[in-house]
Every structure is written in C-alpha cells, then in structure tokens.
Structure 1
Amino acid sequence: MQHEAHDTHQGHQHDHGGGASWSMATRATLHCLTGCAIGEVLGMAVGTALGWGNVQTLVLAIVLAFFFGYALTLRSVLGAGVGLRTAVRIALAADTVSIAVMELIDNSVIALWPGAMDAGLADAKFWTVLALALVAAFVVTTPVNKWMIGRGKGHAVVHAHHH
C-alpha cells in the first residue's frame, strides 16, 4: 500500500515539474487555516470567557487548532475510503508542520500585541488582533506549504489518496 501511494504521489509530483503551484499551496494553506481558525477562535473564546490566564488560554487554543486541523484532513481522507490507521498517519504527515508554523505565527502575534491577551470577547481589539494573527499565519505558512508540497511532503501526501 505504501509503495503504491508513493508511486501515485511521485506521478503527482512529476505532473507539477517537481514543484508546486502557488494555487495549490494556497488551497492547502486555506484548508489548514480553516481547522486552525476554528480551534484558535474556540480556544481563545473559551479561555477568555472562563477568565483563564494567558498561558492556559494559548495552550487550549493550540490544542484545539491541532485537533480541528487534523479532524478536517481525517474527514476528507476517510471519505476517500482510506482506513482509520492510515488516515491518521496521512493527517499527521500532511498537517503537522503546516499547523505548527501557523500556530507559532498566530499565537506569537496575539501574545506580543499589547493588550490583546487582556481584551475581552466584547472588545473589538480581541477580534481584530485574532483576525490579523490568522492572516499573518496564512501569509507565512503558504510558502512553507508550497515548498513542502513541491518535495512530496505535507499536503501532497493527502493528494496521493484522492483518486
């Protein structure tokens, strides 16, 4: 199975001349951003609403971002008929670096923006900084995904199973 997936992927990589288009990288990053944003917003909102400290809120947001990022990939790979064990491996291979970079950037923006972590849910600053942090994460992660896909890593692993 792995050898077949590798051969399928190699053909996929060859179709792109050993690289990846910006369009493909953008789609992969938007997919990742969707899961990360769901987890990030939920984590920040829950932590803020419960009056948790900054560290606890950031940890919850990061854990939920990884959970929802992986969950979206698992849903699509399982929908393609791949078994659960293989689907989990694909999700981990496809999304770990992308989610990690995205989380590093967006949580750094939020943590370093003066007053952002102290803003409440009803404060425009909370939502504005969160949105800007996600945009910054998208901008930084897209070239990372382009580089990884062009080398048969990251989201390219998912494409090998979408036939």
Structure 2
Amino acid sequence: MQHDAHAAHAHHETAATSTWPMAVQATLHCLTGWAIGEVLGTALGWGDVPTLVPAIALAFFFGYALTLRGVLKTGVGFRAAVRVAPAADTLSIAVLELVDNGVLGLRPGAMDAGLDDLLFWGAPAIALAVAFVATAPVDKWMIGRGTGHAVVHRHHH
C-alpha cells in the first residue's frame, strides 16, 4: 500500500516536472549520439547504405553511452545503469533516426557526401532540425509518463 502511494507520488512529481526544457535536453542528448555515429561512419569512408546501418547502430551506442555515463556519475551501480540507458533513450533515438534518415533520403547525394563537402554538413543540419522538432514532443510525452529521460532524472535526485 505504501509502495503504491509512493509510486503514484513519484509519477505525479515526474509528470509535473515534464517541461519543454527537460524534453529539449533529452532530445539534444540523443542528437549528440547520432552526430558522433554519423560523422564517424562518414569519416571511415563508408558508402550510402553501408553508412546507414553502422551510423544507426553507433547513434544508439553513443546515445546509450552518454546516458550511462551520466547515470553512473550519480552513484548508481553499473548493472542498474545499463538498464536505465535503453529505457531512457530507445524510443527517442528510434524516432530521431527514422525522421532524420527519411529527410536525408529525400536529398539526392546527401548520404554519399564526404566530410569536406558542404552537402554533408548542410543536409544533416536540416534533417536534424526536422528530427528535433519531431522528437522533442516524444521526449516530453515520455518524461510526463515517468519514462524516457524521467528515469535518468530520478537517478539524479
């Protein structure tokens, strides 16, 4: 009984603190993971489709790693932190990747551009802006439900 009341109270606190700044922070966190993966895949010289799969995998890896690092800093054990990262980031990164790669796919040559090509930096900037606008509301919704980055914030407090 007491546990149920505590859980309801914790969910209410999380929902009450589901602000746009929190959602923006969570979305920017996922964008950072994506950017590392995308730039690394391109720097390694992978082509169009060969870049796509590893870049998506790297986006998830770096997104989870950044969350893991933050949660570990709060003193949470490694095993618990490893469970928190996917809970916090999976849906957000998936939406980000779907929208981002969809937008990039609409611009011919964008995925083949090299690091020294303006198209490499311009097309993803536009794609990321569109993906950000699509993903931030998802992050806000998840935080409001006590999931997503709300899980991370619970460990910070």
TM-score normalized with structure 1 length: 0.85
Q: Aligned partners of 1:81 and 1:109: how far apart in 2?
A: 39
Residues 7-66 of structure 1: per-residue CA shift (max 9 Å, x gap) = 4x75454236557211111111112212222122222332xxx3x332111111111111
Q: Aligned partners of 2:43 and 2:138: how far apart in 1?
A: 28
Equivalent residue pairs, number: 155
Q: Aligned partners of 2:14 and 2:71: how far apart in 1?
A: 22
Q: Aligned partners of 1:20 and 1:82: how far apart in 2?
A: 23
State the match for 1:116 in structure 2.
110
Asked if structure 2 preserves the Cα contact closer than 8 Å seen for 1:94 and 1:155, the reply is yes
State the match for 1:133 in structure 2.
127
1:28 pairs with one of 26, 29, 39:
26
1:65 pairs with one of 45, 59, 70:
59
Q: Aligned partners of 2:77 and 2:54: how far apart in 1?
A: 29
5+ unaligned residues in a row in structure 1: which ranges?
A: none
Find the residue that maps to 1:82 and give its secondary structure.
Answer: coil
Q: Aligned partners of 1:37 and 1:131: how far apart in 2?
A: 10
5+ unaligned residues in a row in structure 2: which ranges?
A: none
- 1:138 Cα deviation after fit: 1.1
Asked if structure 1 preserves the Cα contact closer than 8 Å seen for 2:88 and 2:148, the reply is yes
- 1:117 Cα deviation after fit: 2.0
- 1:114 Cα deviation after fit: 1.6
- Taking the TM superposition and a 5 Å limit, the aligned residue runs for 1:8-157 are 10-15=8-13, 18=16, 20-46=18-44, 50=45, 52-157=46-151
Residue identity in the other structure for 1:101: V
Asked if structure 2 preserves the Cα contact closer than 8 Å seen for 1:28 and 1:155, the reply is yes
Residues 95-131 of structure 1: per-residue CA shift (max 9 Å, x gap) = 0001111111111122221221232322111110111
Q: Aligned partners of 1:114 and 1:33: how far apart in 2?
A: 22
Find the residue that maps to 2:155 and give its secondary structure.
Answer: coil
- Name the % identity: 66
TM-score normalized with structure 2 length: 0.88
Asked if structure 1 preserves the Cα contact closer than 8 Å seen for 2:84 and 2:152, the reply is yes
